[in-house]
Structure 1
Amino acid sequence: MKMVERIANLALAGLSVAPLVVKVDPNINVVLTACLTVFVGCHRSIKPTPPSETMSKEHAMRFPLVGSAMLLSLFLLFKFLSKDLVNAVLTCYFFVLGIIALSATLLPAIKRFLPKQWNDDVIEWHLPYFHSVGVEFTKSQVVAAIPGTFFCVWYALRKHWLANNILGLAFCIQGIEMLSLGSFKIGSILLAGLFVYDIFWVFFTPVMVSVAKSFDAPIKLLFPTSDSARPFSMLGLGDIVIPGIFVALALRFDVSRKTGKRYFCSAFSGYTVGMILTICVMNWFQAAQPALLYIVPAVTGFLFVHCIWNGELKPMLEFDESKAEEAKSSKDSAQDGEKTSESIPSKKEE
């Protein structure tokens, strides 16, 4: 599995820089980049402990409303304030976030080439005169922050599409790796809400397209085209991260049951089909399309049909990462207790 992950990482890196040296069809580039990013993020989400952030049912239900409020706020900011001013503030904000995200993305690879103590020894730094405010980090994280800072400076100064994409991919991978839906029920609620959200803001208002074109920040991936009137094709990060965390949940479900990657393959295949369908419809109508309109039914449809076919829909719907981890911890504690009791000889044995 590790070899497949490394190949996927190399393929994603190569695909990202390929348009600098060769002509790459933007449609193929969009599909391959999105699918490879989801693949990499999903496999990075497999950890001894569940992802640090778990979404609740209430959060899933509110997410489309919060997203709508933020989207409308950005639209109004660009309409009534200077576009350059808004983008300058956002550039500063994403400069800091970009360093953190890119450093975290590169850290596993960098760790392998550094001394072990650089990975283990934690350094504490406190703000002068405000000692209650501080951060903890390792030397490895400092080393990983160097290329992260370089790309962020490059992006802030040049706004080059490659720097934008490097930061955007880091955000996507970290989002899929760190976020957890907790259960397929919550994931279905979230995807259903964002399915409606995407359709409404793209088809019934000019808000989504307007913000995407005005927002000069790494919240979208840019793919160079040969059309001077439309130099770039765009793909929002949400079209990767949102379905990506659902696909990642399917992979962790497989891992918890030790059944290979059959349901991950179903969900991932659904995502690939959804992306291809999005590109086909977009080119057919020559208009922006809400990608989740095609991705959500494909991902959930492929996964649920596969589960129903195997007669495992109930176990899938009952799966809860937090409860699964608690059960595993209890089982491990019980086994440790048994080993301890076995290791202490009784008086009779003595």
Structure 2
Amino acid sequence: MDEVSPFAEVLGQAIYQFTLIKPLLPTYGHLLVSALFPIYIGAHASLSKPSSAAKSPKKSQEDGYESDTEEDESLGDTHKMESLAPSDALMFPLTAGLTLGGLYLVIKYMGADLLNKILGYYFSQMGMLFAIAFLKDCFAVIRSFFFPRKYSGSGRIWKPKPAERVFQGARDDGSSSESLEVRHSPLPGILGAIPLPHTVRAALWTCREVAYWRARLRIHVHRLLHAECWLSVLDLLSVAVALPAIGYFTFVTKPWWLTNFLGFSFCYGTLQFMSPSTFITGSLILGSLFVYDIYFVYFTPLMVTVAKTLDVPIKLLFPRPAGPGEAPDTISLAMLGLGDIIIPGMMVGLALRFDLYLYYKRKGMHKAQAQGNGSDIVKPVYQSAMGGWGERFWTRSVTPSEPELEPPYHDARSFPKPYFTASIVGYVLGMLATLVVMQIFDHPQPALLYLVPGVLLSLWGTALVRKEVHEMWEFSDAEEEDEDSSVTDAETKEPVEAGKQVSLFSRIFSAPKEGSERPPKSDEANDESVDGKSDKKESPEKLELFTISLYHPRKRETSKLKAPTERGQSPEDDENWALVGTAERDAEPPAKRLRRSPRQH
């Protein structure tokens, strides 16, 4: 009998393992896509103006047209990201280890029932905020596909005029849209060519107006509270969906798909407000958690026990076929911890923001050369890189022959992303290695053991190949203060040593210094800055004790906006505020109720 060659033996073993893993391929595909989904959307949602770009000036709105950046200016790019310091690389594994050990002891000696209830209520409250934000952005993306702010067709760019309920076309070369044809359908692209009855078309325009409706909500309680926020139909719809979902998860049952929904929400929100400010800090944090994950998975039963016992949204669950020896109707679930998504996802998001930084840096170099400034640094004007998914789908952009030095840039939202792509490839390879090793050894694997080397090697390797290691080493994602606000910030903030970065845990646990707190300005002082009169001189019955007002901004013509008012006030002073609820205001003069407060919260 002939001996089997080594190649044939290896090939036979590979075929055997593939036969075993074949029923699990849908589960592993589901797991991989579910891990990439929050990383991709969270990284893009974390984009903001890089230090290589200049702040975009406010633009006046064209007569009758919707603004392409109206929501981006008022609602987008406003999140405050917590920058992690190198010291957090030590604190993260320590606090995570202590928390994990405490949970394990509680489960071992007191049982998991009470702990699941307490943590369930806590995560339901926190999950409400994250779920509303996640759903709102999802609805905004869906809206942009059905009712985009612009689309291209027949060699023109079509923009809506809501007041006239038409789309008016402008040529791709930017020529005037006067005397050009209009389209009466609110649907974009080929959908707009479908003949619709007038009643249906009017109903669709009404739906479009409702989808973009926004109002500003102001709540004022004398000496206690003054808050303002934008309120839209998407907010109300998100609350209407999130409330029953959270209630069902907390008080009824916890299906795997609802657990994954809350897990997506947590990952999406976390990746937007927490990130390392430099690649060095990120590499240190991933390296420390790399050691932490290996120790608690391989050498202790803590992580596996806690993950399997707690029924809270700290993991993603995936249905899988029943194992050998189990009944066919047995419900079996594979799981992936949220830490295996958030920790590498922070570096992926940082890589995407580094791509945006390089995009504007190169554009600034072209602008400096065009202006003849030589080696001087010229910052190009920033254009929002967030959103616009539907507009990008319906609008065909033509690559210009020369570099664009002023907005709008055709590739502002689709800028080159070599480092983001490399980090995604490294994450996928690390996750595939995790699944293969877990299948071969039939033992839970610490995913960070494979994800951390995959992400870090792909990022630093790409920088080495592109000869941009120095750029990556020196890059900092820390927010820069605007020059206009430097004087105000100097009065309200404590002096901080130059170049000193305070870690996240230091900001959480440190107590404020004596004398650092300033007494808040009273309502009377703020009111004096508006109308020059002190509330102290007014009788108590004329005070604004409690009001809830809702303001819906109305579109005005440009000529009216530019014309001065009789009192010499700006157009913002003439805003219409609809008084929804109030207490003890009968004797209050009308001018008092319409006064705008400079306080923003």
TM-score (norm 1): 0.80
Contact 2:84/2:275 (8 A) holds in 1 = yes
Number of the residue aligned with 1:279: 435
Q: In structure 1, how many angstroms separate the alpha carbons of the residues matched to 2:102 and 2:291?
A: 19
**Residue 217 to residue 123, structure 1, CA distance change in 2 (3 Å):** farther
Contact 2:218/2:226 (8 A) holds in 1 = no
Offset of residue 117 of structure 1? 5.8
Q: In structure 1, how many angstroms separate the alpha carbons of the residues matched to 2:444 and 2:432?
A: 14
Number of the residue aligned with 1:107: 136
Aligned pairs, number: 304
Number of the residue aligned with 1:88: 117
Offset of residue 47 of structure 1? 2.6
Normalized per residue, the structure richer in helix is 1
Amino acid at match of 2:465: W
State the identity as a percent: 35
Q: In structure 1, how many angstroms separate the alpha carbons of the residues matched to 2:107 and 2:228?
A: 37
Deviation sequence 1:276-306 (CA, Å, 0-9, x none): 1111111111110000000000000011011
Residue number among 258, 279, 284 corresponding to 1:163 in the alignment: 258
Q: In structure 1, how many angstroms separate the alpha carbons of the residues matched to 2:237 and 2:219?
A: 16
Offset of residue 115 of structure 1? 5.9
Secondary structure at the aligned position of 1:25 is classed as helix
Q: In structure 2, how many angstroms separate the alpha carbons of the residues matched to 1:73 and 1:135?
A: 39
Residue number among 231, 241, 251 corresponding to 1:139 in the alignment: 231
Contact 1:154/1:163 (8 A) holds in 2 = no
Residue number among 183, 187, 197 corresponding to 2:292 in the alignment: 197
Which stretch has the larger CA shift, 185-194 or 99-108? Answer: 99-108
Instruction: Supply the RMSD in Å over aligned alpha carbons.
Output: 2.6
Number of the residue aligned with 1:43: 44
Offset of residue 136 of structure 1? 5.6
1:233 equivalent to 2:334? Answer yes
- Radius of gyration: which is bigger? 2
Amino acid at match of 1:103: I
Amino acid at match of 2:27: P
Deviation sequence 1:289-325 (CA, Å, 0-9, x none): 00000000000001101101111111101111126x4
Unpaired runs of at least 5, structure 2: 1-23, 50-76, 144-207, 360-414, 487-601
Q: In structure 2, how many angstroms separate the alpha carbons of the residues matched to 1:41 and 1:63?
A: 21
Contact 1:225/1:233 (8 A) holds in 2 = yes
Offset of residue 230 of structure 1? 6.8
**Residue 330 to residue 144, structure 1, CA distance change in 2 (3 Å):** same
Secondary structure at the aligned position of 2:478 is classed as helix
Unpaired runs of at least 5, structure 1: 1-22, 334-350
Offset of residue 51 of structure 1? 4.6
Q: In structure 2, how many angstroms separate the alpha carbons of the residues matched to 1:208 and 1:266?
A: 30
Contact 2:263/2:313 (8 A) holds in 1 = yes
Offset of residue 82 of structure 1? 2.9
Deviation sequence 1:219-258 (CA, Å, 0-9, x none): 0000001115670000000000110011000000000110
**Residue 273 to residue 230, structure 1, CA distance change in 2 (3 Å):** farther
Q: In structure 2, how many angstroms separate the alpha carbons of the residues matched to 1:300 and 1:38?
A: 16
Offset of residue 37 of structure 1? 2.1
Deviation sequence 1:171-210 (CA, Å, 0-9, x none): 1111112222111111011000100000000000000000
1:187 equivalent to 2:282? Answer yes
Number of the residue aligned with 1:5: none
Q: In structure 2, how many angstroms separate the alpha carbons of the residues matched to 1:158 and 1:275?
A: 30
What does 1:291-306 align with in structure 2 at a 5 Å threshold?
A: 291-306=447-462
Contact 1:45/1:51 (8 A) holds in 2 = no
Contact 1:221/1:234 (8 A) holds in 2 = yes
Q: In structure 1, how many angstroms separate the alpha carbons of the residues matched to 2:289 and 2:348?
A: 16
**Residue 121 to residue 24, structure 1, CA distance change in 2 (3 Å):** farther
1:71 equivalent to 2:71? Answer no
Q: Which runs of 4+ in 1 moved over 6 A?
A: none
**Residue 39 to residue 142, structure 1, CA distance change in 2 (3 Å):** same
1:151 equivalent to 2:245? Answer yes
Residue number among 400, 408, 421 corresponding to 1:265 in the alignment: 421
Offset of residue 132 of structure 1? 4.2
Q: In structure 1, how many angstroms separate the alpha carbons of the residues matched to 2:241 and 2:218?
A: 20
Residue number among 124, 127, 137 corresponding to 2:219 in the alignment: 124
Q: In structure 1, how many angstroms separate the alpha carbons of the residues matched to 2:240 and 2:134?
A: 13
Q: In structure 1, how many angstroms separate the alpha carbons of the residues matched to 2:227 and 2:444?
A: 43
Amino acid at match of 2:427: Y
Deviation sequence 1:40-69 (CA, Å, 0-9, x none): 111111134575221122223211111111
Amino acid at match of 1:250: A
Deviation sequence 1:259-278 (CA, Å, 0-9, x none): 71001111111011111111
What does 1:16-35 align with in structure 2 at a 5 Å threshold?
A: 25-35=26-36
1:208 equivalent to 2:300? Answer no
Residue number among 346, 365, 385 corresponding to 1:245 in the alignment: 346
